[in-house]
Chain A
Amino acid sequence: MKQFNGKVLFLDRSDINTDEIIPARYLTEISKEALKPFLLEDLELAGFNPSKDILPSNVVISRANFGCGSSREHAPWAFEVNDINLVVAESFARIFKQNMFNCGMMAVELQSAILDDLFTTFMGKETLLETDLKKNVFVFKSGEICKEIPFSISGFDRALVEADGWVGYADKHY
């Protein structure tokens, strides 16, 4: 099973699409590892610097409709090879979310009011997230500040995380 803990990268915009996550010009790669340097290369967002911000990060927090657009699984892969296995957002595009769990990664939804609070409290600060998959709780920490945020994922999504993806699950069941 993958790890869902570590430093948080805040991307404060809705509708971040898969072309921004991994531009089509890199879809000629046939290995996941080759995508590593290009994650979020086309994302233009004030205060975001891909060459500096991605390397230390393990979790992305964003807004609504994250991962919209193309079906390319290169988007989750580009996160995965950068040791980012968890994206938390207000909502996701269907294919992106499915692709994340199909890879044994997580795409978790939180309500906008909770996300507002997380952005206000932690964005711009060095923030660590610990995921407790047994209790279904995210623990956000920055210095003295600590917030516990409950979350939920479906039974199917949890089974995919535990099976490290859909190929493992499907091969066992079908």
Chain B
Amino acid sequence: MGKTIAEKIFDSHGVDNPFGDIHVIRLDAVFCHEITTPVAINDLVSRGMDRVFDPSKIKAVIDHVTPAKDSKTAMQGKILREWAIRQGIVDFFDIGKNGVCHAIFPEKGFVRPGYTIIMGDSHTCTHGAFGAFAAGVGTTDLEVGILKGVCAFHYPHSIKVVIDGELPQGVFAKDVILAVIGKLGVNGATNKVIEFTGHVVDQMSMEARMTLCNMAIEAGGTCGICAPDMTTVDYLWAFIASDYPSKEAALSDYRRFTADSDAHYDQVIHVDASTLSPMVTFGYKPDQVKPVSDMEGEKVDQVYIGSCTNGRLEDLRIAAKILKGKTISPNIRAIVSPATPEIFSKALDEGIIKIFMDAGFCVTNPTCGACLGMSNGVLADGEVCASTTNRNFNGRMGKGGMVHLMSPATAAETALAGVIKNSFLFTEAGGAK
């Protein structure tokens, strides 16, 4: 019997098999941010175990509330900062250099095919886009990861999602993943890895694959995963060029982490991309999705473009294409948060930031803040936000607030209209009949 990508990664990282299907695996990287790590740090200190298994394999960032909004968030940053210095963690990204964890860590080349990664953040599944096993964990798993470089998981079962056909114009990775979550349901992939494959995934950029994998957790999935290919190698080349004589050699090495043709999947789902249209969520669960056409005209108070799902350069370019030379509806407010300083800087160079500002957007520094209602765009009771983020739970972006998840294209068009609306990219192609 052949193996899935996740099985191959597990089999190359085994440390112990203490019970049944529980495998303790060796970690290649432990990612940390200031919300879930300080309690682990304090606990290690109080246990007299204030050390790390390998400072070069720990990466840390202040991203959820930055700049600090109050004394409490300043203290969280302080604890992480002092710990990073104390433990010799070189890859620590503080204010001025910091960005949304799941955007900045891949951008720095910290994610490689075949890697095992944990972080105290549920959207760690994003990094599976590189053919890595990356899972969100709680603070205790994080603490043991920091201390010992290991984590325990059930041996991975996988669901294969085959996305074939051609994506219609104006339909993006976000629409695909919303449609997939709609099919799977919010717990359809619990305890499972979602392996994304097919022609559409092959054609996708790394940014789009990250959007896809980012929301695996919204179907309960442990990790989303895409097989490494030349697109992966191209993205990583700046970081790996000294390790391989050629890109072909790198690819051939990474091919160790592609699935066998006779691998076993608990479930195989086929999606014909050509039948998809832009999607939007309508309730308080991410599987409550419908075509944007069915929600057109619904009023919103705020538009938010950003986050680990859709705050990358490709996302900003698409939104700017829609916003260029236009201004947002006077009845709403709009916020864009480029996910990293590098994205921000490139967006400046390309004139994208100017387009957003001319359109009437507030441009914030890179941060997770608004997505989980912590800072930089919290909703008031009864307000509605059209958002490119990943979670529409009741009160997620602010108590009593409603969130409609959508692609950057739909969000940008919605900002112009003041009501939910399909982007012209889709409608001009004859999509919304």
Residues of A within 8 A of B (CB): 15, 17, 19-20, 23-25, 27-32, 42, 44, 64-65, 68-73, 76, 91-95, 98-99, 102-103, 154-156, 159, 165-167, 170-171, 173-174
Contact = CB atoms under 8 A, between A and B. Distances in A.
A156 B19 CA distance: 6
Given A73-B36, A91-B190, A155-B19, A23 B395 contact: yes
Given A72-B36, A166-B141, A167-B147, 20 more contacts: A19-B391, A19-B394, A24-B373, A24-B396, A27-B35, A28-B72, A30-B76, A42-B394, A42-B395, A64-B187, A65-B190, A68-B187, A70-B122, A72-B120, A73-B120, A73-B140, A98-B138, A155-B19, A167-B144, A170-B150
Nearest to A165: B140
A68 B137 contact: no
B399 A93 contact: no
Interface in B304-361: none
Contacts, number: 145
B263 interface: no
B391 A71 contact: no
- Of A29, A71, A165, A170, most buried by chain B (CB within 10 Å of CB) is A71
Contact of A44 (B20, B79, B394): B394
B375 to A, nearest CB: 10
Interface in B180-220: 186-187, 190-191, 220
Contacts of A76: 138
A163 B26 CA distance: 22
A92 B140 CA distance: 18
A102 B75 CA distance: 26
B20 A155 contact: yes
Given A30-B42, A32-B39, A42-B399, A91 B187 contact: yes
14 contacts: A15-B285, A17-B393, A23-B399, A68-B187, A69-B122, A69-B391, A71-B120, A94-B190, A95-B136, A98-B141, A154-B20, A155-B19, A171-B148, A174-B148
Contacts of A44: 394
Given A29-B72, A174-B15, A71 B396 contact: no
Given A17-B393, A98-B138, A68 B220 contact: yes
- Of B24, B42, B47, B137, most buried by chain A (CB within 10 Å of CB) is B137
B372 interface: yes
Contacts of B36: 71-73
Contacts of A95: 122, 136-138
Nearest to A166: B140
A72 B354 CA distance: 37
